Structure 1
Amino acid sequence: MSGHSGAPVTIHPVKDKNDRREFVELAFRLNRGDPAWVPPLKGEVFDLLTPGKNPWYEHGKAQQFLARRSGRTVGRISAHIDELALAQPVEQGMGPGTGNWGLLEAEDEEVAQALLVTAEDWLRSQGMQRALGPLSISIWDEPGLLIEGFDEPPTIMLGHNSPLYRPWIENSGYRPVKQLKNFAVDIVDGFPPLVNRIVAAGEKNARIRIRRVDKRQFDAEARLIMGILNDAWSDNWGFVPLTDSEIAHVGKKLKDIVFEDLIRVAELDGEPVAFMIVLPNINELLIDMDGSLLPFNWARLLWWLRKPKSRTLRVPLMGVVKKLQNSRMASTLAFMMIEFIRRDAVRDYGAERGDIGWVLDDNQGMNAVAEAIDARVNRVYQIYDKPLA
């Protein structure tokens, strides 16, 4: 990060394709020296920012800004408002009057503060009374600022940022409201005896069936899983429901990295009541692709996707329907899905480690599951807010 030259910082709204390209490229320039930063595929970032490509814009609006100094782009931020988040109950973290910001990158603190002030002004102009961030557009994209776990590259769908951003944000009047944890667990040798006993008892229970997803019925399976998700997570802090078009979009995006033996649906008395999604860590490949599939990276990617060998697998989502939560059945189903996938992952993908996250700091059920399988916290993300009065 370079010091500033005394020249003033000016802020410009992103207006066209060229601005958007600058917005995307800046992250590459500022993070290139960080060995743990995984360059995203630029096409994916463009899609995230583009109405018509990202169905979030069907219920949200956003304005991106660039910071310039002496003609150079030195920072960026996105300010955004999600109509579905505004409709949530206040005690769940979002609610009326709460706007968001995210995708912050800045060369120094002066730039960061100027960008935050601009995002807050935009939110205020839209009638917002509180700013909550960072969120990379939606709570379902990359929520939170990394505050612990800078040493190793993140796994798929986890964010990474400079450790300098935390003091810059806190000096701008933001206070922490929620932490999201990511757990790492060694999976080669299996889980502690207690977990194995619970799984063995579950396997004898005729009411329970744990099945793989059927990729030939991909759209129906995606709808089924996201239906459980919308129910399972509906009381969680920060929850915003996924719309049908977002579910279809997520399905399309993940279709190539979805493997039948890494996703399980649990049925109780024939009714689907829980699911667990595990993804191979494509970041192991992306880290040296510099954001582009050209000229030869697409061939590497396709080859890898045929049968990925992935040292780490990530569990981005699991859920149990609300009516079973906090029951012994819920933890039995969770342990069974985790163990069944673990066996296949070690045997067929060469996996050594699982990553489970994000887990809300007050999600007692998931924290207890993580503890029972001897998982340790390896990354912590923090979400902040600030009144805009």
Structure 2
Amino acid sequence: MLFRLKEKNIRLVLLLLVLTLMVGCSGSTEADNTEIPDLKVAYVFTNHQTPLMVAASRAEAFEADGTWLKTVIEREQYVLMQGDEPIANIDLIVNKNGSETMTMMTQGHVDLALASSAAFIAAVDKGAELKMLCPVHTEGIGLVMAQDADVDNWEAFASMTRESDAPVMVGYHSPTSAPVILFAAALDDAGLSYTKNPDDVTADILLVDLKGTNNLLPALTSQQVEAWVGPSPYPELAVTEGVGKMVLDLREMPPAGKWHDFPCCVAGATQAAIENHGEAVEAFTRLLTVAADYAANHPEEAAQITSDFTGVSLEAARMSEIKYTTNPSETWVTNLGLVYDVLHESDGLNEQFADKSYVETHDEIFDFSFIHSIMGQ
């Protein structure tokens, strides 16, 4: 009887020991998983967002720069590293456009993203708690015409529009896109009139909404328009596919220098990510800075990476004139005001920003604290 009691006690002790070890191991695993945050990063297949593709493609090759990605699954999952220290688990998500990205961010499905500045501004107006952290590129916008057009520069284009008996039809892919905003502002400066009303035959230029970048090249071949303004890589594709020629890079429009550093895509974060995972947000911003610098200084390698990621021909990727940078320069911030004003005038900002000027919104749409820290400003 005594032996049986001892045997039962031994079994009970062993069972408790096993359970204790299981709980201990389970607790340790949970702690390990929660040591660093899981962050979802969204982007779009465009060479405007090449810095993120460079960061993912080069991954461990940036280890010497201090901030880098450890590959888990290529193009999908990484660990954001600062030296030897893991900072965050990163999941890359490909979206169709900035609108989809903003929806996912406001729903809590995305923490960090690359998207157009216009998309971020419009989302914050609607109540989204998001901030733009820095640009990822500037420029990369072209005016394209048919190959046989007798126009090769701004002066010839302006002269053609003034002498034409009817408005010259110029297409664009979205009413809130950087190309048409920049083009319209430059037309104003040059004293050229424009309209979006097809019944107005008094204007120099009729701006035509082609409703998407996929319609840019077909609109030229079908002669729906005589020219269009569009973002890279579409001007380059028009050239490589024999559809048209790039008359000029819009940064070269007069007055000289005014249209340099024109904004388009930016990196941004949810306010929750900034407040709860500030170290990871800063490390991610630093990584984009390293990658943007690499892309700017190694255009051939950046073109190859862009081609591999997006499927754009290497020839077209090589032709890109995009300036990769994360520096929110004074010119960049000023020109972003044009984007804001166009959104405002088109009734695209009718909630939180309905009665606010661009300057009054800076604290609501920007958080440059991370990039300024990185740049030593």
TM-score, with structure 1 as normaliser: 0.24
Bigger strand share = 1
